[in-house]
Amino acid sequence: MSNEMTATTRYSQAGDEFLFVELNEEMTLEAFFRSISITQRLREIALPGVVEICPANASYQVRYNPDVLTAQALQEKLEALEQEVASQQVRTLETRIIEVPVLYNDPWTHETLMRFRDHHQDPNATDLEYAARINGYDSVDAFIKAHSDTPWFVSMVGFVAGLPFMYQMVPRERQIQVPKYLRPRTDTPKQTVGIGGCFSVIYSVRGAGGYQMFGVTPMPIYDPADEQPHIDASMIYFRPGDIVKYRAVERDEYDTLLAGAEKGQFSPTVTPFTFDLDAFNQDPDGYARRVKEALYEH
């Protein structure tokens, strides 16, 4: 926690309509927790002139109308909210746990990654083989287990519509980290599950991308056509603060789930949950087990 003690919040005017707030230069669960707590409070107080409130991994951003609210008044309010959040005795977050089924090592990301081997650090290995090796796992299966066994925090939603960035809820020394591709791909299958840096993502739309690709999920996460009952009118499934638990599935189950999704019949396993930051910090492994119990005993 020492890095948190020395981290100072940095406010930066981004033009005349945005205030950008960096809580920590490096990614930490503490910084994310502050980002989500401050932005939630800001949403609750409905300050006139605030137009967009965007939490991110270790920072956040507010778009405001400077004709209604001055930059200085906004910053003072945000500083006050940060104080308020810092003085909280109980550091909890009302959220939900969502299971995301993944077909790892699937044929579609495999075909795609083979087309872009000349963009990759290790052209002679697959993304999974490369990620397993540089993270010290002796097999792809052991790596998949590490990726799918622990919970992940949705620490940001964005880049493109509905894409979740997820931060692994394990002590830092065990966090999976992989570099992004040397040069971005021009193609990534829809609903690809991958990692870049320390963040796991699910690509919500087909398109360019630079993260290492590990598998695909049959779960729709972006719904511009209004076809998915599990996604509300915002068209986006994930929210910052959600907790995700991946589950490795075989091809048969993937096909069944996908066929259901295509008929608008995907029903995610999800349960409400109160996340407690201090309880997590005291015993990350025990907490990961509790998350799993909450998800599957519900």
Partner 1 sequence: MSIEVIKPGLASSIQDKGRQGYYHLGIPPSGGMDQRSLITANLLLGNPEGAAVIECALMGPELRFTETRKVAACGAEMLPRVDGDPQPLNEVFEVPAGATLSFDFVRAGARLYLAVEGGIDVPERLDSRSTYALGSLGGLHGRTLQAGDSLALLPVHGKAINGRSLPDNLVPVFSRRYELRVMPGLYAHRLEPDSAKRFYQEDWSVASEADRIGYRMKGGSKLDFIQREPPFGAGDDPSNIVDACYPIGSIQVPSGSEPIILHRDAVSGGGYAMIGTVISADMDTVGQIQPHQKVRFVQVTLEQALAARARYQQVLEQLRNIP
Exactly one of 42, 56, 78, 244 binds partner 1 (CB under 8 A); that residue is: 56
Rg of the chain over CA atoms, in angstroms? 20
Strands 92-104 and 243-248: parallel
Footprint of partner 1 on 192-251 (CB under 8 A): 196-199, 204-205, 207, 222, 224-225, 234-236, 239-240
Minimal distance, residue 111 CB to partner 1, in Å: 23
Whose CA is closest to 69, among 52, 49, 90?
Answer: 49
Exactly one of 16, 84, 122, 278 binds partner 1 (CB under 8 A); that residue is: 16
Span interacting with partner 1, options 25-33, 129-137, 245-253, 268-276, rule CB under 8 A: 25-33
Query: In this structure, are residues 64 and 17 in contact, taking their beta carbons and an 8 Å threshold?
Result: yes
Residue 283 binding partner 1, by CB under 8 A: no
Exactly one of 66, 93, 99, 253 binds partner 1 (CB under 8 A); that residue is: 66
Query: In this structure, are residues 121 and 185 in contact, taking their beta carbons and an 8 Å threshold?
Result: no
Exactly one of 30, 33, 47, 59 binds partner 1 (CB under 8 A); that residue is: 59
Place of tokens 């509300």: 232
Exactly one of 47, 78, 102, 163 binds partner 1 (CB under 8 A); that residue is: 163
Exactly one of 77, 119, 159, 271 binds partner 1 (CB under 8 A); that residue is: 159
Spatial distance between the Cα atoms of 65 and 126, rounded to a whole number of angstroms: 48
Residue 63 binding partner 1, by CB under 8 A: yes
**Alpha helices per DSSP H over 116-167:** 127-134, 140-149
Spatial distance between the Cα atoms of 99 and 266, rounded to a whole number of angstroms: 12
Strand 10-14: give its sheet, edge to edge: 10-14, 18-22, 59-64, 50-55
User: In the complex, which residues of this chain contact partner 1 (CB under 8 A)?
Assistant: 12-18, 20, 22, 24-28, 39, 51-61, 63, 66-67, 71, 156-163, 165, 167, 172, 179-180, 196-199, 204-205, 207, 222, 224-225, 234-236, 239-240
